Amino acid sequence: MTMIGDDLQQVRARIDKACADAGRDPSAVRLLAVSKTFGPEAVREAHAAGQAAFGENYVQEGLDKIAALADLRAGLEWHCIGPLQSNKTRPVAEQFDWVHSIDRLKIAERLSAQRPAHLPPLQVCLQVNVDGGANKSGVPPEEALALARAVAVLPQLTLRGLMAIPEPAADFAAQRELCLRAHALFESIRAEGIALDTLSLGMSADLEAAVSAGSTMVRIGTAIFGGRARKPA
């Protein structure tokens, strides 16, 4: 097995243990491999080890990878997880399967209008700023329900849930407390009758806390691919 394959196996084992510790079914938590700054061959290697869903932070880098791996397209699921500007919505609507980072209605409306009719609806999450970090993307929690209601009715989108990137915390208890804020918001929106099934929460450093708090999708980069070698210009 390749190094990436070994690392994937270790991450899956961490997810399984976290689910066991939380009394959850491991099948309730999906693994999204965050492949930003790593080339198509790293994705190909991870796919060969059984990974299908990949997250990209930078739109152009993701588009280049999708093109380079066109032969695997039917077996790959591409998630745009980085901040999305208005001038980048069209290629994302045309090429990606998921978008995690919707934080305002204008972006959602553009994605819906630009999603090709022959493709399935784009699967989307709202990014929420659960801890109020001033420099972070995300809709404030108190505005999330109104945004969810507006996005849920757009024709070429399917609203799946929420995504959050909590501030780094010192230990498991502090990590879990931040993650529980996102889960509480997720449940409060579901209680209003909006059918959400995805809480995109948890990364390499805090996946155990996120799973304990109810995450259904963890976004793991470093623990699979290693440290970030570079950042695209």
- Does 233 fall in a domain? no
- Does 24 fall in a domain? yes
Which tokens is 78 given? 């591409």
Rounded CA-CA distance 130/138 in Å is 8
- Does 83 fall in a domain? yes
Residue 229: band (very low, low, confident or very high) from pLDDT cuts 50, 70, 90: low
pTM more than 0.85 = yes
Instruction: Tell me how many domains the chain contains.
Output: 1
- Does 27 fall in a domain? yes
Residue 54 maps to which CATH number? 3.20.20.10
- Does 230 fall in a domain? no
**% of the chain surpassing 70 pLDDT:** 96
Mean pLDDT value across residues 200-206 = 96
Domain residue limits at 59: 3-225
Check residue 231 and give its pLDDT.
Answer: 47
CA distances to 14, 66, 84, 123, 195 from 156, rounded to whole Å, are 35, 21, 17, 9, 16
The model's pLDDT over 110-158, given as tens digits with 9 standing for 90+, comes to: 999 999 999 999 999 999 999 877 667 899 999 999 999 999 999 999 9
- Does 77 fall in a domain? yes
